[in-house]
Structure 1
Amino acid sequence: MRTCKEVSALVVAREDRDLGALDQMALRVHMAMCKACPRFERQMLTMRNAMKQWRNYGNDE
């Protein structure tokens, strides 16, 4: 069982690279049992989308 600290590191790493099968499985198992880590994952997704919108802001003109 991975700790929340390890899982959060995997969530961040997943932004830059594909995770191996073992890491993906550990992530799924932990996310199913933890309340905090799925929240962190949603926060990361929100930040990523906000940054994407910010980078593209003003390019529509």
Structure 2
Amino acid sequence: MGLRTRRFVAMLGALGFLAVYIWAVIAVGDRLPENMWVDLLFYGVAGIAWGLPLIPLLNWAEGGKPK
């Protein structure tokens, strides 16, 4: 598979993942207690954690060579 095709497939995968991730974060966030600190902690962690699952996909998109 060529590099351009890999990048296109990775883009589609990332967009699909992010759509599901955002939906899940909103669904879980609605069930949290009404507390500012709980919201701050949850959305702070959720705002950072989305990148971790995408790292292997992005490495694959760039040719699959681990750095």
Max radius of gyration: which structure?
2
What TM-score, normalized by structure 2, do the two folds share? 0.38
| TM-score in terms of structure 1 length | 0.42
